[in-house]
Structure 1
Amino acid sequence: MSQTLHRPTASNGASASRTPERVIPVVLDLGLSSPQKPVKTAEEGAAFLGLCGAMLRTTPGAPAGALRALEMLRAQGWRSAPVLAGQSAETLAQLLREAGYNGHALPLARRLKAMAAYLAETWEGTPEALRQAAGAQVPALRRLLRKIPGLGEAAVDSFCQDMQVIWIELYPFAEPRALRAARRLRLGLGQDAAALAGNCAPEELPRLAAALAQIERRDDYAVLTRRLSA
């Protein structure tokens, strides 16, 4: 059965003459409202902070300052499940209010505490134990992550996208919104994360995917087109 090729047009995100080298810097500038700090292998509690970051970013009504909230957790030294679980919900909610969560602060604080308590009681206080139990098998890892209280599918996607730089079995990974944006902008010859990964160094894929997801979430294609045409 023959397949009709769909040619890119300006109406679906970018003209055929715009190359990834031209599009990607604009995507990163538009899609990342604040610098996306890469996860560092040597950082204390990197995997646990990755879970916190995923929950912060995917909370309904999450502010652009989700990264600020994560930095505040770091500054407080709340880098492990037992330590975070030991904080009162109101103490944690106050930190989240200062980061901009306002009406969502207390429910989110309770979800973060429940997640931390579950890890502390069930998985030795660290997501690394889940990784070991999954045997480096991504489907098994995702099933275990979904059992964590308060961690939905979107948060699991966000976590996998961020952690692929140090949990190498996750590479390449891009959340569904990022892949939709990549297809619309013709970034790669295929329709999966491997095709998108061909546009950047491995350590840059989380930033690129996060920027694409944000553009898709906000439907910023018209703004992107104007910037590319300038």
Structure 2
Amino acid sequence: MNTEDTLAELLREHGRSYAEEAGITLRDKPSPLYQLLVLAVLCSTRIKADIATDAARELFRSRLRTPRVMADTDWQTIVDALGRAHYRRYDESTATALLEGAEVVLRRWGGDLRRLRDEANGDPEAVRELLQEVPRIGPVGAGIFCREAQGLWPELRPFFDDRAREAASSLGLPRTDEGLAGLVAPDELPRLASALVRSGLQH
């Protein structure tokens, strides 16, 4: 199978970003960016990605879509929402992390992660470091955020983590970020990166 056919099959089978699966319509606006941060927090535990995205959907169905609403919500309500999505092993600690994280976003960036971007001044490494000021977000969580946000913030492009690059190599696709970025349009990079991660998880 040539590169073009491999790419087409990969995107056909797995080409849905994690943000899409969580019901987030990503735009460079405060609420969708915060929802992406919530998803990154949920994905930062040892829990299956589909459970994390289901948990994000449940939180958003409960109207917990902004840091102000999250911060003003009682802990048990968050625990219950996570439980409905079967996010049970880490529900209590994650509820605490979400409440504390909402306060950090409000205090540090006025509830608007575009201010975090401004503070990073175009440096993708600075973006990842600042994200890790949020409870539960470590290098993996920061990477998840950047992988999904690269379609919005050009300075993050291209971003593929080790798992995505390994999957690309196993499929005979380019092994470098730049090589992979040459396969799709810039706004398709999150779909490609997510597709590679999903493909890798199946093997």
Same fold (TM over 0.5): yes
| Alpha-carbon contact 1:80-1:126 (below 8 Å) kept | no
C-alpha displacement of 1:204: 1.9
Counterpart amino acid of residue 204 in structure 1: E
Counterpart amino acid of residue 92 in structure 1: I
* Identity fraction in percent: 29
- 1:72 is the counterpart of 2:55: no
Deviations 1:41-85 (A, max 9, x none): 266611111111112223212351332322233333322112111
* Alignment partners' CA distance in 1, 2:131 and 2:109: 11
Seen in structure 2, the aligned counterparts of structure 1 residues 195 and 36 have a Cα distance that, compared at 3 Å, is: same
| Alpha-carbon contact 1:48-1:79 (below 8 Å) kept | yes
User: Which of 170, 175, 178 is matched with 1:194 structurally?
Assistant: 178
| Alpha-carbon contact 1:65-1:99 (below 8 Å) kept | yes
- 1:111 is the counterpart of 2:94: no
| Alpha-carbon contact 1:39-1:162 (below 8 Å) kept | no
Higher CA-based Rg: 1
User: Which of 20, 34, 42 is matched with 2:3 structurally?
Assistant: 20
Aligned-partner SS, 1:64: helix
Aligned-partner SS, 1:65: helix
Seen in structure 2, the aligned counterparts of structure 1 residues 71 and 168 have a Cα distance that, compared at 3 Å, is: same
**Gap regions ≥5 residues in structure 1:** 1-17, 222-230
* Alignment partners' CA distance in 2, 1:137 and 1:35: 24
| Alpha-carbon contact 1:39-1:166 (below 8 Å) kept | no
Aligned to 1:45: 31
Aligned residues: 200
* Alignment partners' CA distance in 2, 1:51 and 1:35: 12
| Alpha-carbon contact 1:39-1:46 (below 8 Å) kept | yes
CA-atom RMSD, angstroms? 2.3
Counterparts of 1:24-103 in structure 2 under 5 Å? 24-28=7-11, 30-31=13-14, 37=20, 39-41=25-27, 45-103=31-89
**Gap regions ≥5 residues in structure 2:** none
User: Which of 184, 190, 196 is matched with 1:206 structurally?
Assistant: 190
